[in-house]
Structure 1
Amino acid sequence: MPTSREGYLWTPAGDTTGLTTEAVVSGTPDSLIRNKYDVVVIGTGFSGLIAVRNLSRNPNLAVLLVEGRDRIGGRTWTAKALGEEFEMGGTWVHWNQPHVYAELHRYGLHSNLKTSAGTLDAKTTIYTAAFSTPNNIEGGDVNSAVQRVADAFFSIDGLSSRDLMPYPHEPFRQPVPWLKYDHLSVKDRLDQLDLPQIDKDLFDAMVSSFGSAPGSDYGFTEALRWSILSEYHGHLLFNTVLEKVEQQNFSVTLTTKNGRQIQASHVISTIPLNCLSDISFTPSLSPLRQEAIKAGHINQGAKIHFKVGQTEPGWFAMASGYGTSPWCFSFSDHNGTAKKDGTYYIGFGYNGHLTDPRASSHIISTFKQHLKPDADVKAYLTHD
């Protein structure tokens, strides 16, 4: 099975850069790549793959799919290690995601979905307050406290969530009453509520999962990607990092980091927000888009899979983002899919922390200090 240059695995015996994954596929031989195409699609995440699939239905179109990585999938990909499969990016789907669910039904994959209890079936719940140590708390009390805050938090000036954003999949469709409150951070809104501070602290820590930030800031997918890609019949170019996108009259010129130029009549960009600042666009993007690019995506936190020696029932732990913890939250995922083999955790870090996957001592020690003191870490893996 092929190996991506991405990903990192640590064990006491040593570390490995690059993880085994079926997301690495063969591109079109360089000798067949043309100088000009009708359409070039940038990015092989789900949006890019769906775009080229739909374009390839027209046999008269010459289409090129360009990807800077050595694999498909964007941030959502599955790696194989330690005898298990790990979702390195996205993991969970729900029928509240209509576009994703439509694709699952299209390829008959919805029947393969596995229900996950996630954090809802935790036998133990742990909370680390700011500048404190982990403490066991009653899970039912946490859920009740968070629900009380949520009921008040999402009801503002007598408006429910549905009133505030009546068209959640078209947020700017009129009416847009939520715009009046868009300047508020999570913490701003919490400060407006006359509720016990501990309840608000628990809610703040819980919603840090939205963006890997405190409230003041803010293997299944493999089959779906392959199914979408199988319907595309155009050219595919990997390891191609773009430097410039220049539009003149009715033609667009793409220039790569190594100086290669490709022309297209049309370009569809699915470049991730946090990568757009690396590319020069002519003419310049709109001021609003430039502002969004400068701000970047709020969620830049680490996602780290752990394997530990002990076999444990489900647990969930979270830490305040206003203290010294680099960790947002973590929970037990399973005890091995093929056999009982210790316990597998998933941990999420706050933005700007845990940025060096090779810092094993720091990663393990802070995880034990702020979330799970008894964790007997045997291995971990992560990616950029």
Structure 2
Amino acid sequence: MSKTYDVAVIGGGFAGLAAAREASNLGKSVVLVEASDRLGGRTWTETRLGTRIELGGTDVHWLQPNVWSEIKRYQLNLEEFTPPEQLLYLDNGQLREGTEDTVFGLMEKGMSALADLARTLYERPHEPRFSDAALEYDKLTLGEFLDGVEMSSLERDVTSSFWAAACQAPLDRAGLTLPLRWLALSGWDWRVMLDVISRYKIVGGMGLLSEGILSDTKADFIMGKAVTQVSESKSLVTLTLSDSSTISAAAVVCAVPVNVLSRITFDPPHQHAEKLGASGQISGGQKVVCRIKGDRTPYMAFAPEGHPFVLLQYDRPIDGDHIAVAFGSDASAVDGSSAAQVQQVLRSWLPDIEVLEVATHNWTKDALYRGTWAVPGPGQLREQLDAVEARDGRVLLAGADIASGSYALIDGALATGIRAGRDAAALS
């Protein structure tokens, strides 16, 4: 006989945790089912390389209203990546070094063109339905847009370096709406956007934020079991788990990455879940954290799209060595678990570098996630908005992958989870 709850939550990332907290704090009985053995989703704080590192989502900012509210709620603090003093970039395979004004100046044309368009299309970034103008541009890829901006090949290469890291995919496949939304959320200022998505992190790690929400959540937790089927009737939803056990609830919040939605059978079919699952999202890159022998002047390095790593960022010194983080848009381009292979690529920028140890997680190959942070292809904006707003049954969707405001960010996961948790409580 299955146990019946008021609300069941599928997925233990930030969207699921927020939904469980909201519903349980409204007095509802709640269960959260997580397929892995840990909470946090695509954030993952670990002790490796002799220090604390982040294998997944890391960056937060006070311009992200939902995450900032949570940071203050749980009395957490921010620290920043060490600002770079040395900026390196590849120019037709040749290593160059420039000042901040020079290197970021190479991004000016492309970034400003994007920011200007974002101001026009996203007048109210957290209210994407305020205007339908963005839908007209959703058919374009970021690559197509940048092709239309008059700039030199070097300007295009340096601009694409940043976006290839941010989009975790080839720019000729990445939808234009991701950069436009990130720019709008940063006051349509691309230099501010760089700070918002890549400068600040939580002292003690992202795990402290998930632990804070967990401590404030009155729910049962089932770990290590996936939901394989969601069966909805007029008054009840039954979840079948991977061990064939079942759980019933008056309402369900499904907060799993869109690339794994297709592994859940919905009976009757859930229009939005199945559409999202079929179209998916395209991120296939990687993040590699490196411990590098010796300390050196803090640096940031750029390489054009197509390079195995397109961005390298000094993080902090550690016991005479230092930590750096590399991003690539194709996880198959270099084995991120091999210090030797990573070192070979990093020597494109720093010929004398010695990589002692690396830590990574292949989110793309992990069957529970099948991708890093969400990156849409062109033409997906409307279905994302429809899905996160849908309230035509007892199964509600949540997650950063469909956030209407802070898309693909922890802030968006929290926003959708909070809303879905409260709406699910109202249905029970």
Superposed CA offset, 1:173-195 (max 9, x none): 13222222222222211221222
In structure 2, C-alpha distance between the alignment counterparts of 1:127 and 1:295, rounded to whole Å: 35
CA contact under 8 A between 2:334 and 2:341: conserved in structure 1?
no
Identity across aligned pairs (percent)?
A: 29
Residue 241 of structure 1 is matched in structure 2 by 226
CA contact under 8 A between 1:165 and 1:176: conserved in structure 2?
no
Displacement, 1:228? 1.0
In structure 2, C-alpha distance between the alignment counterparts of 1:367 and 1:297, rounded to whole Å: 28
Residue 180 of structure 1 is matched in structure 2 by 136
In structure 2, C-alpha distance between the alignment counterparts of 1:289 and 1:261, rounded to whole Å: 20
Does 2:314 correspond to 1:332?
A: yes
Does 2:213 correspond to 1:228?
A: yes
Letter in 1 for 2:239: L
Residue 214 of structure 1 is matched in structure 2 by 170
Aligned with 1:380 (options 354, 358, 362):
358
Superposed CA offset, 1:244-274 (max 9, x none): 1111222212112221222222111111112
CA contact under 8 A between 1:302 and 1:354: conserved in structure 2?
no
In structure 2, C-alpha distance between the alignment counterparts of 1:291 and 1:354, rounded to whole Å: 30
Displacement, 1:154? 3.4
Does 2:267 correspond to 1:285?
A: no
Could you say which structure has the higher helix fraction? 2
Displacement, 1:92? 1.4
- Report SS of the residue matched to 1:379: strand
Residue 348 of structure 1 is matched in structure 2 by 327
Displacement, 1:62? 2.2
Higher relative contact order (CA 8 A, sep 6+): 2
Residue 362 of structure 1 is matched in structure 2 by 341
Residues 158-173 of structure 1: pairs in structure 2 closer than 5 A: 160-171=117-128, 173=129
Aligned with 1:149 (options 85, 110, 121):
110
Residues 1-384 of structure 1: pairs in structure 2 closer than 5 A: 35-59=3-27, 61-109=28-76, 112-117=77-82, 121-129=83-91, 132=93, 134-155=95-116, 160-171=117-128, 173-218=129-174, 219-286=204-271, 289-322=273-306, 325-336=307-318, 340-353=319-332, 357-368=336-347, 370-384=348-362
In our comparison, the structure showing a higher alpha carbon Rg is 1
Displacement, 1:124? 2.2
CA contact under 8 A between 1:245 and 1:279: conserved in structure 2?
yes
Displacement, 1:213? 2.3
Displacement, 1:345? 0.6
| Compared CA separation, residues 76 and 148, structure 1 to 2 (3 A) | same
Unaligned segments of structure 2, at least 5 residues: 175-203, 363-428
- Report SS of the residue matched to 2:88: strand
- Report SS of the residue matched to 2:41: coil
Aligned length: 333
| 302-311 or 142-151, larger mean C-alpha shift | 142-151
In structure 2, C-alpha distance between the alignment counterparts of 1:214 and 1:126, rounded to whole Å: 22
| Compared CA separation, residues 355 and 374, structure 1 to 2 (3 A) | closer
Cα-Cα RMSD:
2.2
Letter in 2 for 1:224: L
Runs of 4+ that moved beyond 6 A = none
In structure 2, C-alpha distance between the alignment counterparts of 1:209 and 1:170, rounded to whole Å: 27
In structure 2, C-alpha distance between the alignment counterparts of 1:243 and 1:34, rounded to whole Å: 15
Unaligned segments of structure 1, at least 5 residues: 1-32
Displacement, 1:284? 1.8
Letter in 1 for 2:309: W
